[in-house]
Each structure stands twice: as structure tokens, then as C-alpha cells.
Amino acid sequence: METLQTGRAFGLSIMAGLVAGGILAGINVALVRPYTAALADIELENLLAESEFFEEEFDDRLQSIYFSQLYGSVIVGLAAGAGAGVTFVVGRIRASPLKAALIIAGIAWFVLYVIPAVKYPPSPEATFDPEAAGIYQMLLAGYTAVSGLAALAIAFGFRKVKRKEKALGAAALYLVAIAGAFFVFPDFQSEDDSFLPQPIVSGWRSAISLSMTVFWFALGIICGLLWTYGSRGVGRGI
């Protein structure tokens, strides 16, 4: 199978990211938004009970949440597609394009979503309270960056290791590094989340987890198929 040119691989990856982002947006609208609306109703009742309701401010916040679930998903898809393309070109994984894409997507899903979500699960308070959102997003972004950079540094460090066990060694070293970060980073304290109906909170978090899992592996499959087609196109002189 011929090798994809860098520009072609990157372009196909962006295309895959756009499609995967559209899938994420659709899942968010179909599955996540109903739970978000239910949580918004509870938040509204609490604000009214505390006489702290400002209709315009609340409506703006809710619309920004819906906006991020829709258009933010496309932006995430484009960024993830670009990252997958760069990793595919630079990493030179010795596997078929589809297998390489699934490996990249699986690692990204684990490193950039699962690990950060274990430390900082989605918080309703951080969704509706701008002040809490600032703290939560700062912690989540920092922990995600540490997770991603640790995985990247370890992968780069193990590139020249030729032993068959290098994947296990790299994984073990990553888990040790992220375990250390887990204890260094402070917890996000949210007493309000514990007072909300837990079936709704659990359903909301489960819907988010499902949407992100489908997104990452859809990205892997779409990238793999496009890279495979692109490689064959290079072989035919397309």
C-alpha cells in the first residue's frame, strides 16, 4: 500500500473530524440535551426559590450551553481530526491505515477523555454557575494537558525502543505519571451536585460518556477508511 502524502493525510483527517464532529453534535442534541434541559429546570426552580433569578442572564447561559453542544462539537471534531492526522504522519505506526487510526483514536479517547473524566466528572454546577465553571474548566484543562503531554512524551521516548514489551512499558510509565498528577491536582468541590436528583445526574453523565466514546471511535473509523482510500488513490496516481 502506498504512503499518503502529508498534506493529503492532513486534509482527509480534517474531513473525518468534521464528520465525526457532526455525529457528536447529533448525539448531543438527541441524548445529552434532554438531560441538560431537565437540570436547567431544577436550576431554575432553585434560583426562583432563592430569589436570585435573572431571566436574561439565565437564558443567555442556557443558550451558550446549547450552542457549545452543537457548534462546539464541530470545533472539537476539527481539532481532533487535525491531531489524528499529525499523529498518523509523524508517528508512522506500522499497521494498516484503519488499524493505525483506531489505535490513535483509542489512545486519544483514553488519555484525553477517560482519564480526565475520572478525576473531574461533568458537573451540573460547573455547567450553570459561571464562577464554578471557571474553576472546573481550569482544573479539567490543566489535568487533560498533563495527561496528553505525559502520553506524548512517553510515546516519543519509547520510539527507538525495539523490545516487544515497549507498549506495556510505556503504558505502565504513563499510568504512574498520571497517578502522581491525580493526587497533585486538587479535587473540584461541588456540594450542589450531591443535592440534585442522582438518576438525572447519572443519566446526563452517561449520555456525555456515550457521546464522547462514539465520537472518538467514529473518528478513528472514518479516518482509517479515508486514509485507506487515500493510499489507494496515491497508488493509482489520483
Residue 187's Cβ-count burial label (10 Å; 0-12, 13-18, 19+) is exposed
Averaged over 118-130, what is the pLDDT?
92
Inter-residue contact 72 to 33 (CB < 8 Å): no
User: Is the per-residue pLDDT at 234 higher than 50?
Assistant: no
pLDDT at position 53: 63
3-state secondary structure of 237: coil
Cα gap 4→111, rounded to integer Å: 26
pTM > 0.85: yes or no: yes
Look at 93 and 207; give whichever has higher pLDDT: 207
User: Is the per-residue pLDDT at 5 higher than 80?
Assistant: no
Closest by CA position to 91, among listed 78, 105, 79, 77: 105
* Whole-number average pLDDT of the chain: 88
84 band by pLDDT with thresholds 50, 70 and 90:
very high
User: Is the per-residue pLDDT at 25 higher than 60?
Assistant: yes
User: Is the per-residue pLDDT at 69 higher than 90?
Assistant: no
Averaged over 186-196, what is the pLDDT?
85
pLDDT at position 96: 87
pLDDT at position 43: 84
pLDDT at position 4: 62
User: Is the per-residue pLDDT at 58 higher than 80?
Assistant: no
Averaged over 117-140, what is the pLDDT?
93
What type of residue is 10? F
pLDDT at position 1: 39
Look at 4 and 137; give whichever has higher pLDDT: 137
Averaged over 44-60, what is the pLDDT?
75
pLDDT in tens, 145-172: 999 999 999 988 877 676 666 778 889 9
Inter-residue contact 231 to 48 (CB < 8 Å): no
Look at 129 and 159; give whichever has higher pLDDT: 129
